[in-house]
A and B are shown apart, each in its own frame.
Chain A
């Protein structure tokens, strides 16, 4: 009686039904060389699992938890990375030039886009204070910015408040509110104090790589709404934000 090589491997991998298994075992009992080979293959499987199963219980590194889907391919052509580098250069150049007062409107959009690119992919810690503590969140951020802030309600636009965080900006503390829709798509509203004489502005639009930004200045505060959204959709949300802040 002869068994095939395929059957021997299927025996190694426990892929045979009981009748087939008995046939292979009978064959191996009479063929010691093949029996030794099969034994070695079984030991390989056991050794592989003994060697690599511990990887399963290792903590997953942060870089694998926060995959940035704006990255095209490979680890070098990183859209978001270039965005951050480009913006950082712009930011420092801006600081060196030294404008009076707070950030110019364009850098407001870029700063907001950086903050969006950094925090919106966060899985575990997207915000410092969650929406469950909304009152505390708004009071805290208002106190730190020295201005009365509000977190707009965007449920009609399909976005729920995730929470917010405090960020450093060129002119001091900056607030970021984060929103998320049912599919997990995130928007951030970046609010920064504008020092010096600034006139209110209409909505302006800036496309920072994949991040679309509508930004405007209203009194002493600059607002920037960022998201990986089509421009018309983002404009609808920005309009809703503006209306709620200026009832």
Chain B
């Protein structure tokens, strides 16, 4: 495996990175680090397995490392409960009309799932594999992420039933 076999996947990695990271420069940094790591660790890729899923898994690891590096406490786990709450001030909520701003306000691990499933059209099993988490976790993050995105965009109150989803 080399850059030639990876090259066809670059546009999709860039699409996902753009949605995940927000601006183009940060997104392409993420893609560049992902490609470098993939090429340096090419011996870990099993020929015949899904190269796209492997590349997205690497991008996830690079993304998580970048987030950790930005946090004051690098040892802090990326648990959604540890992350700052989405602003719930009524005025702020009403201003968040566009999709990209709303995405940026999703906790990263919910953003990843919403994008892998909704944008990249990964199956739930593929998403679980790429992120190395149980499928139940994929589903709960998907439920929460989509609902949070909906309330951010429309200002609608979260559906009561979802409050018990954990």
Contact = CB atoms under 8 A, between A and B. Distances in A.
Contacts of A52: 15-16, 18-19, 119
Contact of B149 (A9, A15, A44): A44
A166 to B, nearest CB: 25
A175 to B, nearest CB: 26
Given A5-B143, A56-B11, A73-B37, A61 B19 contact: no
A9 B12 contact: no
A13 B142 CA distance: 11
A37 B32 contact: no
B33 A74 contact: yes
A144 interface: no
B53 interface: no
Interface residues of B, number: 45
B146 A55 contact: no
A51 B11 contact: no
B99 A47 contact: yes
A48 B150 contact: no
Given A41-B146, A47-B99, A69 B31 contact: no
Contacts of B2: 183-184
B29 to A, nearest CB: 7
Nearest to B37: A73
B52 interface: no
A123 interface: yes
Contacts of A40: 150, 153-154
B10 A48 contact: no
A67 B3 CA distance: 8
B51 interface: no
Nearest to B11: A56
B108 to A, nearest CB: 16
Interface string A23-67: 000000000011001001100110111011101111011011101
B159 to A, nearest CB: 6
Interface of A: 5-6, 9-10, 12-13, 15, 33-34, 37, 40-41, 44-45, 47-49, 51-53, 55-58, 60-61, 63-65, 67-69, 71-75, 123, 183-184
19 contacts: A9-B143, A13-B118, A33-B159, A41-B146, A44-B118, A44-B150, A47-B99, A51-B99, A52-B119, A60-B11, A61-B28, A63-B28, A64-B14, A67-B35, A69-B39, A69-B40, A72-B40, A73-B36, A73-B37
Interface of B: 2-4, 7, 10-12, 14-16, 18-19, 28-29, 31-33, 35-37, 39-40, 99-100, 114-115, 117-119, 121, 123-124, 139, 142-143, 146-147, 149-150, 153-154, 159, 161-162, 165
